[in-house]
Chains A and B, each alone.
Chain A
Amino acid sequence: MKHDVVIIGAGVNGLTTAAYLARAGRKVLVLEQRAMIGGLCSTEEFHPGFHANTCIDDTGWIPPSVMRDLGLSAFGTIAPVSMTIPGSGNGPIVITPDVRATSESLKRYSSSDAAKWPEFCAFVARLCGFLEALYTVRAPAVESTAPSDLLTLLSLGNKLRALGKRGMIDVIRTIPMSIADVLDEWFENETLKGALSTLGVLNVQHGPQSGGTALVFLHNHVGLPLGAIAGRRSAPGGVGALPTALAAVVAQSGGEIRTSTEVARIRVQNDRVAGVTLASGEEIGVHTVVSGADPRRTFTTLCDAGDFDPDFLHAVDCIRMRGPQVRVHLALSQAPTCGEITIAPTMSYVERTYDAAKHGRVADHPWIRVSIPPADVSGKHVVSLQVQAAAYTLRDGWTGATRAAIGANVVQMLEEHSPGLTQTVLHCEVVAPPDIESGFGATEGSLLHGELTLDQFTFARPVASASRYASPMDGLWVCGSGTHPGAGTAGISGRLAAREILSSKVRK
């Protein structure tokens, strides 16, 4: 066989796995169905001459270990962009990693919130510190009695204890809470709470009042420096710069990447992986296949149902994917006057956008986070928006008119903050959950490859029997965002998956 390992998908985790395996001497072949690498972490031309981050604006947390191993230190120095909240009368609330400056900005609205801000930042950092420890090791096997598993549990337990009595309670108590309850415990200003609550429901079909959204909020802060609440790590050159850097590592280590190469099927012989069949009909024989695709697609679309136990397939079918995110990219003839604002005036407002999704409607008033890519990325004037407005499944279905209405609505909402913007729109590109599914292969348009909620977390991600990257099929592994620790962390699951693969006794 020409290759030792085939990796499906040249997204961040697929490439990270490839890089680690190639550096360990495996002959690696990465197959990407799209014409370019990067998957959901791509920066593309959406209108002639205009570029934007197609799906996500944040490269996510790249832990120091991955950065060091793969020489990605350039990505470690990115100063996170935080959040600007248009205030109600007294000017905007600007959240930056500078805790004192943020406090000052809050003072105009609430002296109590301003006073609590530094403590809140420390609270988030403390809890995230524990999650970081949890995220850099493989998912704990809670029911296992193997010494190595007990050691992992013990060391996590010690990490928890190190937080002290109150810190420990804070972790245990906060994780299952709703972000609305958490924010109500800290703050009084509705504007601040509304905007912050979006971090608790980002990319999941939930409202701020749903239990477990506090975990989502914390997850979205993992790896960020103290005070960088709602921070976003936007790489110079756009998020696509990260997969490009990873691809270079793969190539240097002798790995091969083929784009425009769609895998149609994972072939199984004698109850183990025998290779992949491409959409073109070409067959590639290999004993190890690592899928960076989401778990639903990996196990139900790329494999035959007969290859797995029905219980396993049922568990895979039960994974909640539910992408609620719509992306809108505007090509403009001149720069907008608004900055990178977040429009989510109250927690009830955010809750109502969830109600719409829950009942299969498009929200009349979606919550929006604006990002303005720098000129070196966009080429020209571009505004990119995260719009949490809808659900993958709409009662009336997704049509061109649905997309156009969302685009028009969003432009109108922005007009209020950037007067005259409407006249400058040259093109409005709406990327809805079904488009994310068809364009990137992400089931139900889930940018997370499955909701990152408590029930789909660590040892239950993507499903209990595949939480350590090995699947029930000999030779088939998963490494994407749908695995522990999940989307929003860059390269961790790739690194951990590669380590599991290298330590397993697989046939080359």
Chain B
Amino acid sequence: MTSHRYDAIVIGGGHNGLVNAAYLARAGKKVVVLERRHLVGGAAVTEEIYPGFKYSVFSYVVSLLRPEIIRDLDLPRHGLEILPLESTVTPMFDGNYIAGWADHDLTRREIYRHSPRDADAYDEYGHMMHHMAMAVKPILAMVPPDPTSLAPSDLKGMLSFAGLFRSLPTRQFHQLYKLMTMSAGDYLDEWFETDVLKATKSASGIIGTFMGPRTPGSAYVLLHHYMGEIDGAFRAWGFAKGGTGAISKAIASAAREAGAEIRLNASVAQVIVKNGRATGVAMANGDEFHAPVVVTSLDPKRSFLQLIERKELPAEFVRDIERYKIRGSSGKVNLSLSELPEFTCMPGNGPHHRGAFSISPTMEYVENAYDDAKYGDFSKKPYMDIVIPSMIDPGMAPPGKHVMSIFVQYAPSNITGGWNDEKREAFGDAVIDAVTRFAPNFRASILHRQVLTPADIESITGLTDGNIFQGELALHQLFFLRPAPGWARFRAPLKGLYQCGSATHPGGGIMGAGGRLAALEILKDVPR
């Protein structure tokens, strides 16, 4: 058994863990990141699963990464390059399509083809969402105050939180309230009449959640995804050159440069607790790491119910963590292709292949997909978000060939009877059938396929139930309630223990905000 001593230990080398380590190291702390897998990134990794074909295995696009992190860590110098994802095309059953392009006016022309009224509304909708996102954006950089506390810092935090809302013009305040409480479908009904437009837009309200487009709460997720689109760094959804893993690599490089140590194949078995405080971690191989600060970037179920003995934590906190909703709802299919899919609605190859395809032909289609999952089955006709990374970054596949990333909903983690090989393949088949319906040459073009169910996502990344946000982005699990009431300020009810993953405010996506805010909080507690 070897013993090591550090100022801080970060459990998990996902993007938040790496951001956290980078900030701590930059403040002069001796930091070690312990990553169970052979590579950094967690759910933000690029892997060459089949020779020559590189997959962004899990997370595949980026837009929410906080600009202050990009600046502070100088990520472009560490190799981060974001390539724009230009468009979204939604094929329809009747051979028509609806497309959104990078050019706002081109998109309006396209919408006009379906509904002149919606083309007008699209302008106003864009403005409104922009204002909403701008209004909410400061919250992303806020440490959530505790509304039940009368401590001056909490009162001040609550006042500035309330002030944010009260400073909004009345109409915008009420729009924001609607976004916080409605379903994406109902919210979009207030704006548009074109069904396929609503189906495609509402999809960003369901991604990563166990909600349908008609489930109240999904409008917030719509906003959550919208926030990235307006941030100064890049205008729209983007794709990292080299795949999503390149983002993790860039952050890791920045962390290393600042002095952090990153250990791979280092699996943490337990947090060591002595006299009511976390003093280090014990590894699966028996080694021990000691530090006055232990930061977990894992989801709270794993952190608090598996790595720590229950008796070390308050019973109420443990109950809150047990109650924390973390249902996995999505799967991923990664493919190697011999040729590009030719969509019936847009024959031939063209610029649309450099963008996304959304399989969301009608509201009812997406809602039906959800209905399957509600009762414990995968969607027979799933909603899908498809990108062809090799069209954006040619290095992702050998010449003449392509890779395709298909994000699929719904694949419930609690599928009746549990996931097995047979169900995984049936799920993969359903996905391929559903795409082939719109692109007849698709099935024959597949060279390799990697199908990932929530169970696979969990076993590879460690994310409980394969939930990509480390817990649902539902109103009762946001801000000062994330991940548990009273413990939203990146601390844990154990001295020396901190949390920084997507299960902390402000939540999922490759944002890095949790990692950064946690580091700033830690530095307040620990003298520099």
Contact = CB atoms under 8 A, between A and B. Distances in A.
Interface of A: 142-143, 145, 161, 165-166, 168-169, 172-174, 176-177, 181, 185, 206, 209-212, 311, 314, 318, 320, 348, 351-352, 355, 358-359, 453-455, 460, 464
A174 B165 CA distance: 22
B177 A169 contact: no
A117 B364 CA distance: 39
Most buried by B among A174, A185, A211, A314: A211
Contacts of B368: 359
Contact of A173 (B183, B367, B485): B485
A168 B147 contact: yes
Interface string B351-384: 0000000000000100110010011000000000
B182 A173 contact: no
B156 to A, nearest CB: 16
Nearest to B319: A185
A351 B183 CA distance: 17
A185 B321 CA distance: 12
B216 A455 contact: yes
Contacts of A209: 215, 374
Contacts of B325: 181
A150 to B, nearest CB: 11
Q: Interface SS of chain A: helix, strand, loop or mixed?
A: helix
Interface residues of B, number: 37
Given A173-B481, A211-B216, A355-B371, A453 B148 contact: no
Interface string B144-185: 000110000000000000000110101101100110011100
B139 interface: no
A314 B117 CA distance: 14
Nearest to B316: A166
Nearest to A360: B364
B39 to A, nearest CB: 36
Contacts of B371: 355
B275 to A, nearest CB: 26
B147 A210 contact: no
Interface centre among A174, A209, A311 (most CB of B within 10 A): A209
B201 interface: no
Nearest to A173: B476
B240 interface: no
A212 B216 contact: yes
Contact of A460 (B177, B216, B217, B476): B177
B186 interface: yes
Contact of B211 (A168, A169, A176, A211): A211
B405 to A, nearest CB: 29
30 contacts: A142-B165, A143-B170, A143-B173, A145-B166, A161-B148, A165-B148, A169-B481, A172-B147, A172-B476, A176-B217, A177-B474, A177-B476, A185-B323, A209-B215, A210-B216, A211-B215, A212-B181, A212-B216, A212-B217, A311-B171, A318-B190, A348-B374, A358-B214, A359-B367, A453-B181, A453-B216, A455-B177, A455-B216, A460-B178, A464-B174
B309 to A, nearest CB: 23
Given A176-B217, A348-B375, 19 more contacts: A143-B165, A143-B170, A143-B173, A165-B148, A165-B486, A166-B316, A168-B148, A169-B486, A172-B476, A174-B476, A176-B181, A177-B476, A185-B323, A209-B374, A212-B181, A311-B171, A359-B364, A460-B178, A464-B174
Contacts of A359: 364, 367-368
Among A165, A176, A212, A348, the most chain B Cβ lie within 10 Å of the Cβ of A176
Contacts of B367: 358-359
Contact of B148 (A169, A174, A206, A211): A169
> 5 closest Cβ contacts across the A-B interface?
A211-B217, A176-B475, A455-B181, A211-B216, A454-B181
